[in-house]
Structure 1
Amino acid sequence: MPPKVRRATLATVAASAGVSVTTVSKVVNGRSDVGPETRALVESLLEQHAYIGRRSPAAKGSPATARIELMFNGELNAYSTEIIQGVLEAGGDAGVAVVVSVRPRAAAGTDPSRPRGWARDLATAGRRAVIAVVDELTSADIAALTRAHLPLVVIDPLNLQRDRVTSVGSTNFAGGLAAAQHLLSLGHRRIGYVGGATRSACNQARLHGYRAALEAAGVTVPDEYQRTGDFRYRDGVAGGAALLDLPAPPTAIFAGSDETAAGVIEAARARGLRVPDDLSVVGFDDTEVARLSSPPLTTVRQPLREMGGVALRTALRLAAGERLDSHHVELATELVVRGSTASV
């Protein structure tokens, strides 16, 4: 069996040409600020090394554009829109095209060769890296991308695999802590939580922050005050209904996303309860949902656009063969107080 040929990286080409990775990246992206002799040398080496991101012969003379795959699972929502905006803005600044895709979840018993084919198709199409958003990537998916020499960056990873996956998130624990402390400062002691999947790392961090604040204040958190879901509107409606129908319902609810918070507000409305007069509600994300909610939603701002920008720039660094100081980056959250919370 012939030995496997490793795909060249920008670093490989740069070393062969005796120039920087940045210079090679400029040539690949069709930038004009490279001398003609250097450009000719780099383009020749890109051809020799069969670098997958180079321009095809038919495209010579026209600007080349690197492409990054931005992949989601399932339905897009306000959270997704903020991420897309951040990635697109950063891509525009870097001269990189962003291809947005929605990958259907694999069914049980799916052919194990499917991840290999998926990764191979991305590489063949000229993608230089993949950004996955809140995605349940399997070990087979990660291995397939590695074999295809496609760097991966995950935003809000379901499970942190620091030694294998580069990821970008926010200070979810601090955000959950701030949300609960705000409600406590308003005099609330019966505070419920409606969040995401129990296996989700960001959900666990928000839940733990909420619990830490209440426990520090000497407030007991009943098990029935904690509801899980999928960060969707329907989960807020169902979880909010379950909490508000308890014999001793909470006077305030912290929701794990703005969309979930909107569902909680609807559950309250359906029961003749007014927000914030009868029930205070805090969300998480600070998407357009929070600003358009009635009343405007108090929420924990997660810097989603900035997270998208960091993910894009990180993906490009990995594609260029650069080493990172950390495999996980967290951006700061901030409590934004609006009209959905009030004193008891």
Structure 2
Amino acid sequence: MTPASRPAPGSSDRGGATIAQIAGLAGVSTATVSKVVNGRADVAPDTRAAVEHIIHEYGYRRPRKGARPTLVELVLHEIKGAYGMEVIKGVERVAVEHELALVVSELQESRVPGRNWIEAVLARRPAGVVAVLDGPTPAQQGQLRSRGIPLALVDPAGEPGPELPSTSGDNWGGGLAATRHLLRLGHRRIAAITGPPSSLPSRARLDGYRTALDTAGVAIDPDLVRVGGFHLDDGLARGLDLLTLPDPPTAVFAFNDAQAIGVYQAAHRLGLRVPRDLSVVGFDDLPTATWAIPALTTVRQPLRDMAATATRVVIDLARGATAAGHRSMFATELVVRASTAPPGADER
């Protein structure tokens, strides 16, 4: 009997096709299907593609017997730095509540997980996957979905699909608050160092910055907006560019705390003092903001709570809840410290 002539799962099989049914439809052994389902690498690419096509079309019904998931998977572009540690602590908090172990995958600054990652995740069979900034590809999302492994995004860099749960901070409101704070202090030459143009949080912060200037009647100077990449080196390089302009800014809004520290370094190299000669505002309120000298005025977004909420969502989905497409936006808060002052103010 050819694969096409084998009986397909009926409409009553709402849980998807069994391994045996998938094997029949694909014309392969149940052992081969099991390898694909479990993320094993020792399957020919054409065979894997055929099995994945069947799973995508009919779904996959997990065997009723089997061990309860013991893991939750967290995917980060990089672990180094306080940002990643805040997210890890948030996910771990909820994982411990549910007696789940935490597995952390680092993409080493890559924006998209590779094939080795998805195969490893399918083999581990976690209760769910929490991805930060950028998630799995659409094909990888389909593989997770077909195995009943829910996915949620934290602080997504792009627009999540309508079916994908996500948590984020109020980036527009944070950009607005940061810029209005500087305007109230009397600054009018306010620079901005953004993140990558493709970053949704960066675009929202930039819109907040522009809205604050516009509503205050301050013209937006394109020379004062520099594109960065959310790293300290970006703040240093763009800060040097801005502070050596013929008419330099009196304040800089850096779109994350790492960039803000880079601006501090740029000011120091040029013999300028914060905040006497230059006011600086960051974004995130990571622990480094309080360690900086002077302590950094910044916009706080609750990364731990954002990560914890995304983890609860995937665990609820794994237990049968219907939260697909759930979006949570957390309020941001301006935290005023010692890095901002009126322009030309004497430091005391």
TM range (shorter): 0.7 to 0.9
Query: For the residues of structure 2 that align with 1:206 and 1:162, how far apart are their CA atoms?
Result: 21
TM-score (norm 2): 0.78
Matches within 5 A, 1:147-296: 147-296=146-295
CA distance, structure 1, for counterparts of residue 260 and residue 204 of structure 2? 18
Counterpart secondary structure, 1:127: coil
Partner of 1:49: 64
Q: 1:227/1:217 Cα in 2 relative to 1: closer, same or farther (>3 Å)?
A: same
**1:107 Cα deviation from its structure 2 partner:** 10
Shift of 1:86: 1.1
Answer yes or no: is the 8 Å Cα contact 2:285–2:300 preserved in 1. Answer: yes
Unaligned runs of 5+ in 2: 10-14, 19-60, 344-348
Q: 2:106 is aligned with what amino acid?
A: V
Structure 2 SS opposite 1:128: coil
- Deviation, structure 1 residue 50: 4.1
What whole-Å deviation, never above 9, does each CA across 1:230-280 have from its counterpart, x for those lacking one? 211111111111111211111000011111100111111111010000000
TM alignment of 1:129-140, pairs within 5 A: 129-135=128-134, 137-140=136-139
Q: Which runs of 5+ in 1 are unaligned?
A: 9-45, 56-64
| Cα distance change of structure 1 residues 153 and 48 upon mapping to structure 2, 3 Å threshold | closer
Report the Cα distance in structure 2 between the residues aligned to 1:295 and 1:194, rounded to whole angstroms. Answer: 20
Deviation (angstroms), 1:74: 3.5
Contact 1:187 1:343 in 2 (8 A): yes
**Structure 1 position 81 matched with structure 2 position 85:** yes
Task: Name 2:33's counterpart in structure 1.
Answer: none
Alpha carbons 1:162, 1:328 under 8 Å: kept: no
Partner residue in 1 for 2:305: 306
Deviations 1:60-99 (A, max 9, x none): xxxxx62111011135211111111111112112222111
Aligned equivalents of 1:107, 1:285: Cα separation in 2 = 20
- On the 8 A contact 1:129/1:315 being kept in 2, the answer is yes
| Structure 1 segments of 4+ aligned residues over 6 angstroms from their partners | 105-108
Shift of residue 138, structure 1, vs aligned partner: 2.8
The answer to whether the Cα contact below 8 Å between 2:256 and 2:282 also exists between their aligned partners in 1 is: yes
Would the alpha carbon gap of residues 294 and 106 (structure 1) be closer, same or farther in structure 2, given more than 3 Å must change?
Answer: closer
Partner residue in 2 for 1:339: 338
2: CA distance, partners of 1:76 / 1:216: 38
Identity %: 41
- 82 and 295 in structure 1: CA distance in 2 versus 1, 3 angstrom threshold: same
User: In the TM superposition, what is the alpha-carbon distance from 1:48 to its structure 2 partner?
Assistant: 5.2
Aligned to 1:90: 94
| Alignment: residue pair count | 291
Q: Is the 8 A contact 1:280 1:341 kept in 2?
A: yes
